[in-house]
Structure 1
């Protein structure tokens, strides 16, 4: 049975993990007959957003504690993730990927990733173990995989330009489909970057999970 590590970035689309995308990820991993374990960094969020009003609120929240809401408490700190124990890696979307796992939301083409997250993602890449990046998370692909790595966030020109400035190659894609970088064994899908409903997101994430598992050696 394949074992999949899933990195969460909080709870809520505007400051953490996109909840629908994360739940669909967990569901499709399980439906594919694989096991998953959720992880998150034990750090403060960039900020906490009131999802009703869109306004910043206090006090700020912890990424690991908030991610535990999605994982029903079954979550570990990112520093406990041993790449040798897993066959593949998945990063659901939500702005937490661009705010908490990295500073892409504020720095765009000059972005850096949280050192612990970058180390884990690079370890999967070096080990030639497949990975799936969803929604805004594919913006991190060129940071992890370097020049000429292939990714999609859909068709937003500014985000696509930032990916290419980081050295990646952006491919336009709709929410029902995926883009596969065969060389790096990394799969991406735009999900709610372009989706108009949950069914489109479900289709894209289902395809991504199947492709990632198929790429497992």
Structure 2
């Protein structure tokens, strides 16, 4: 595995990409010597949340691509420029932006829809038999897109979310934060990360690192 595409959903766990998960993902790739490019949809966020108050700011609007650019240090491209044939795998960190901006899973659960540009990318990597890694709530995107294939996924121990994922046809497997679940048949790797609100960085990084290593093995 030489190069991976990373999709971000904004910046900030309540309305975009989970920043710690995103940085740890890039670190795990770097440790394995894997080059990466970062992408995000050029769309408006569902809403903007004040991360201190924990409440939406009705007066504010933000762009997903521009916000994700904060994490990418400006080195980011619109998801419409993501060509699967240029990469060996795909990785999606979590954060509520996945469930609010990249899909409507936060509001509709198993009846939610995935943003069209994201579906196109997921299907392109799946068709190419290239591994896809999903962190935290991101496995919901895989469930909504590939549920009819009955893939095995994890979001950790969160029973309510697991139940919604299984309604799509996907199979949920309980998993600890410091581990990952590998579906070798469908080349999907998932890890819980901050689906456990009380998780520590060490365990989250261990889970993400195992996920990256598993993607490397699947790409051989």
Match of 1:142 in 2: 143
SS of match in other structure, 1:146:
helix
Count of residues in Structure 1 that have an aligned counterpart in Structure 2: 217
Q: Distance in 2 between matches of 1:80 and 1:103?
A: 23
Match of 2:11 in 1: 11
Question: How far apart are 1:59 and its partner, in Å?
Answer: 1.5
Q: Distance in 2 between matches of 1:79 and 1:110?
A: 25
Q: Retained in 2: the 8 A contact 1:2–1:213?
A: no
Q: Distance in 2 between matches of 1:145 and 1:166?
A: 8
Match of 2:195 in 1: 193
Match of 1:79 in 2: 80
- After TM superposition, the runs of 4+ consecutive aligned structure 1 residues lying more than 3 A away are none
Match of 2:94 in 1: 93
- Greater Cα shift, 32-41 or 190-199: 190-199
Could you say what the CA RMSD is over the residues aligned between the two structures, in angstroms?
0.9
What is the TM-score normalised by the length of structure 1?
0.98
SS of match in other structure, 2:38:
strand
SS of match in other structure, 1:39:
strand
Q: Retained in 1: the 8 A contact 2:110–2:144?
A: no
List gaps (5 residues or longer) in structure 1. Answer: none
Match of 1:60 in 2: 61
- Greater Cα shift, 24-33 or 139-148: 139-148
SS of match in other structure, 2:194:
helix
